[in-house]
């Protein structure tokens, strides 16, 4: 039976990485001393499915490694082991190690065997109690064990832990038949383990969910037992150990389990007492068993997990659309003017269905921001302990949905901002206490919708930004002239300048001054911007503003001369007729108008874009569209407002290049190309 398993690898990796995230989150939620059963169970299930999956796909070292983790978790679950910070840390380390292993296998690279061994050893040490000196050297124990003669006071016999994989019965094997065979060898005591049993409604009668703890008493050769299990050795996890070994040292049992059936079946004729010695080198053996993976790293095809409800609603909409379509086409077959009303209502139905369909389709790409947020508890946990700071991370608005592309591109800038807050923002505990603040600092990640934007805020209650310090530093670095006059806000914005860092010491966390300008560049590439609010001594907030989706935009068409442009609806504040007496001039040239309590510049679109106009150019006759971009406002003088529509954004740069003042293009209803205005770009253009 040769099924190309490769086709499932992608799914396996995706699920495993998800499982690892779950484990990580769960581990971070575990508070030492109290064992939250639900949490431990979640972690255990995640570990277990990774183990099962990797075993199925032949990634033996992954499954062996996970097995050890699982054993540790199992003990915690059963209450045999206290949940301690050290254990959690070891498990967290193992999660990282496992992630590296999987990533290496996925890209076809070699697994870093040293780090795997080290983590595995740590896990085993933890398993064996952690403080026993002898337990640090499981091999030694094993070798000692091997040299011991079989203790005669112990009854002869074997202890078999038999955990078949779910598909065991589908391969034509039946555990009952195997137990009967074992029974013929000696006195058999079988105990079934029901823990793996799913809920009754989820049971697949063809799957095996049980595992068995078997004690077989009597003078029996190891080989005879192996023969019984000969047909199922690839479809189960199994441990066979003699009573003598078991009684000799209980710790070896655990290590033995990790080695699983492999060493047991590879050397079936080995005497039982020396078998334990073979586990000294389980790694090389398993590593060699790893299937030859093609070294060429295939680019992983991107896939997305979608809520079934979303798909259902999409299918519903498609159904509605089909009904409307058939209605319209039957209407068109014999149409006369008396049925005009029907046609119009049909068309309006079509319009609403198309819109809903579009929204559902866009919804598929929407994912909750928690996909990005979930990595931060770990980051904060690790970094704060590394830096000796006490920091609490608060998350809110994790369920805010954002486009998948935004999720992918925002995580790096966000990590950088959070690291910055940890490193530069929150002070050391003693400094905080001296400043009259609680020693425990807070970093708050918050996401919410505002208008057509999603806003992600990183807030810390640290020292805040020092505008003057930033200014001096910028002068020193040659970013600005010493006599430049900047507002507070402009001073804060200096930290986004390339090659700018105020950290006194360059740490491995931040401080090389390459980050913030990249952060801003990435966010601007997404069509967003960053705002800084800060108060010295109180803390600072970095707010990232991003468009909800990158593919579709609500636009307002405006006429400029003979041409049509699209203004993003989200950036329009208001529009009104401009009369010439409302215009005031600055230095005879710059035109401004007063909007309530603010003087705003007027950008004459015709002049700015050099548009030829068939009509007469009259300054008093025109509509002023007040727009906001990156925190500054201005008025665009256009000839007419044409209508609102949703437009699909098409990049200009794919075949052309970036044009100042234009963010992208779109295709209008008549098939021609419309250009979408970029408000910040227009302001820059006007300043020339």
Partner 1 sequence: MTKKEKQLTDDEKAQEREVLRYRTQYLSFTLNREEYGVEILRVQEIRCWEPVSRVPNVPSYEKGVINLRGAIIPIIDLRERFQLKEANYTETTAVIILQVHESDKIRIVGVVIDSVSDVIDIDKRTIQESPDFGSKVSTDYIAGLVEVNGKMLTLLDIDKFLSLEEEEETELN
Name the site residues for partner 1 (rule: CB under 8 A).
563, 608-611, 650-652, 654-657, 659-662, 665, 667, 671-675, 685
Identity of the residue, 112 or 660, whose beta carbon is nearer to partner 1 in the bound complex: 660
List the one residue out of 501, 427, 428 whose CA is nearest residue 469.
501
Give the shortest CB-561-to-partner 1 separation in angstroms.
10
Helix 250-266 to helix 138-147 angle, to the nearest 10 degrees? Answer: 80
Torsion angles phi and psi, residue 597, rounded to 5: -115, 30
Give the pair of three-digit tokens for residue 305: 């997990």
Give the shortest CB-608-to-partner 1 separation in angstroms.
7
CA dist 133 → 51, 115, 126, 278, 614 (Å): 29, 22, 12, 22, 92
**Inter-residue contact 436 to 397 (CB < 8 Å):** no
Give the shortest CB-284-to-partner 1 separation in angstroms.
42
Identity of the residue, 284 or 610, whose beta carbon is nearer to partner 1 in the bound complex: 610
Identity of the residue, 480 or 652, whose beta carbon is nearer to partner 1 in the bound complex: 652
Q: How far apart are CA 338 and CA 327, in angstroms?
A: 16
Give the shortest CB-662-to-partner 1 separation in angstroms.
7
Give the shortest CB-675-to-partner 1 separation in angstroms.
7
Q: How far apart are CA 421 and CA 539, in angstroms?
A: 9
Q: How many CB atoms lie within 10 A of CB 440?
A: 14
Identity of the residue, 30 or 675, whose beta carbon is nearer to partner 1 in the bound complex: 675
Q: Which residues of 300-324 are buried (b: 16+ CB within 10 A; e: fewer)?
A: eeeeeeeeeeeeebbeebeebbeeb
List the one residue out of 503, 389, 502 whose CA is nearest residue 443.
389
Q: How far apart are CA 115 and CA 130, in angstroms?
A: 19
Identity of the residue, 6 or 660, whose beta carbon is nearer to partner 1 in the bound complex: 660
Identity of the residue, 268 or 681, whose beta carbon is nearer to partner 1 in the bound complex: 681
Residue 490 C-alpha from the chain's centroid: 33
Give the shortest CB-688-to-partner 1 separation in angstroms.
10
Torsion angles phi and psi, residue 594, rounded to 5: -105, 120
**Inter-residue contact 548 to 454 (CB < 8 Å):** yes
Give the shortest CB-559-to-partner 1 separation in angstroms.
14
Identity of the residue, 201 or 654, whose beta carbon is nearer to partner 1 in the bound complex: 654
CA dist 633 → 85, 191, 569, 592, 688 (Å): 53, 76, 14, 11, 17
Give the shortest CB-299-to-partner 1 separation in angstroms.
15
**How buried is 614 (Cβ within 10 angstroms: 0-12 exposed, 13-18 middle, 19+ buried)?**
exposed
Q: What number of residues does the chain have?
A: 688
Give the shortest CB-603-to-partner 1 separation in angstroms.
12
Give the shortest CB-663-to-partner 1 separation in angstroms.
13
Identity of the residue, 150 or 608, whose beta carbon is nearer to partner 1 in the bound complex: 608
DSSP letter string, 319-331 = HHHHHHHHHHHHH
For the four alpha carbons of 414, 419, 424 and 429, in that order, the dihedral sign comes to: positive
Q: Helices (DSSP H) in 267-307: which residue ranges? A: 272-275, 282-289
Which residues, 6 or more positions from 404, have their beta carbon under 8 angstroms from its beta carbon? 304, 365, 366, 367
Give the shortest CB-643-to-partner 1 separation in angstroms.
17
**Inter-residue contact 332 to 365 (CB < 8 Å):** no
Give the shortest CB-651-to-partner 1 separation in angstroms.
7
Identity of the residue, 170 or 607, whose beta carbon is nearer to partner 1 in the bound complex: 607
Identity of the residue, 258 or 662, whose beta carbon is nearer to partner 1 in the bound complex: 662
Identity of the residue, 254 or 665, whose beta carbon is nearer to partner 1 in the bound complex: 665
Identity of the residue, 14 or 563, whose beta carbon is nearer to partner 1 in the bound complex: 563
């Amino acid at each position: 039976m040769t099924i190309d398993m490769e086709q499932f690898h992608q799914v396996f990796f995706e699920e495993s990485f998800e499982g690892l995230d779950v484990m990580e989150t769960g581990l971070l939620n575990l508070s030492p001393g109290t064992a939250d059963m639900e949490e431990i169970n979640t972690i255990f299930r995640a570990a277990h499915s990774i183990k099962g999956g990797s075993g199925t796909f032949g990634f033996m070292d992954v499954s062996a490694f996970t097995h050890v983790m699982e054993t540790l978790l199992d003990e915690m679950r059963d209450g045999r082991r206290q949940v301690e910070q050290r254990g959690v840390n070891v498990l967290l380390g193992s999660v990282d190690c496992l992630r590296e292993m999987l990533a290496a296998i996925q890209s076809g690279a070699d697994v870093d065997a040293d780090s795997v061994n080290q983590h595995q050893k740590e896990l085993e040490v933890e398993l064996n109690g952690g403080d026993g000196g002898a337990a640090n050297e499981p091999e030694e124990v094993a070798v000692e064990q091997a040299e011991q003669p079989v203790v005669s006071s112990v009854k002869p016999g074997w202890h078999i832990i038999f955990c078949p994989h779910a598909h065991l019965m589908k391969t034509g094997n039946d555990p009952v038949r195997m137990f009967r065979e074992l029974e013929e060898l000696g006195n058999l005591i079988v105990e079934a383990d029901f823990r793996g049993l799913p809920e009754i409604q989820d049971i697949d009668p063809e799957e095996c969910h049980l595992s068995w703890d078997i004690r077989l008493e009597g003078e029996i050769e190891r080989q005879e037992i192996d023969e019984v299990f000969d047909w199922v050795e690839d479809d189960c996890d199994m441990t066979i150990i003699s009573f003598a070994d078991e009684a000799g040292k209980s710790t070896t049992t655990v290590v033995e389990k990790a080695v699983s059936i492999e060493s047991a079946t590879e050397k079936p004729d080995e005497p039982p007492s020396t078998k334990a010695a073979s586990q000294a080198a389980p790694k090389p053996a398993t590593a060699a068993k790893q299937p030859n993976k093609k070294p060429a790293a295939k680019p992983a095809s991107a896939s997305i997990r979608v809520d079934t409800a979303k798909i259902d609603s999409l299918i519903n909409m498609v159904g509605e659309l089909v009904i409307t379509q058939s209605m319209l086409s039957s209407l068109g077959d014999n149409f006369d003017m008396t049925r005009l009303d029907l046609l119009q209502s049909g068309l309006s139905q079509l319009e609403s269905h198309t819109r809903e369909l579009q929204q559902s389709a866009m919804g598929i790409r929407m994912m909750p921001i928690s996909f990005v947020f979930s990595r931060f508890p770990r980051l904060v946990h690790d970094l704060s302990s590394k830096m000796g700071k006490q920091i609490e991370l608060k998350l809110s608005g994790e369920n805010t949905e954002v486009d998948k592309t935004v999720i992918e591109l925002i995580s790096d800038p966000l990590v950088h901002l959070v690291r910055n807050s940890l490193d530069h923002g929150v002070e050391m505990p003693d400094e905080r206490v001296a400043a009259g603040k609680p020693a425990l600092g807070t970093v708050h990640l918050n996401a919410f919708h505002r208008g057509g934007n999603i806003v992600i805020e990183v807030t810390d209650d640290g020292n805040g930004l020092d505008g003057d310090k930033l200014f001096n530093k910028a002068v020193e670095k040659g970013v600005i002239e010493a006599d430049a006059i900047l507002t507070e806000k402009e001073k804060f914005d200096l930290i986004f300048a390339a090659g700018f860092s105020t950290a006194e010491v360059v740490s491995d966390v931040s401080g090389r001054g390459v980050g913030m300008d990249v952060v801003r560049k990435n966010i601007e590439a997404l069509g967003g911007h960053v705002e800084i609010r800060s108060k010295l001594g109180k803390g600072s907030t970095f707010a990232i503003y991003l468009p909800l989706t990158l593919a579709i935009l609500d636009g307002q068409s405006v006429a400029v001369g003979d041409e049509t442009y699209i203004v993003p609806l989200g950036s329009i504040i208001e529009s009104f007729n401009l009369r010439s007496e409302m215009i005031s001039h600055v230095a005879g040239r710059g035109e401004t108008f007063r909007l309530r309590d603010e003087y705003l510049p007027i950008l004459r679109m015709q002049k700015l874009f050099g548009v030829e106009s068939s009509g007469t150019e009259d300054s008093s006759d025109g509509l002023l569209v007040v727009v906001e971009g990156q925190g500054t406002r201005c008025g665009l003088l256009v000839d007419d407002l044409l209508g609102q529509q949703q437009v699909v954004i098409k990049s200009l740069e794919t075949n052309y290049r970036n044009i100042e003042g234009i963010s992208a293009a779109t295709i209008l209803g008549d098939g021609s190309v419309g250009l979408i205005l970029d408000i910040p770009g227009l302001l820059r253009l006007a300043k020339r």
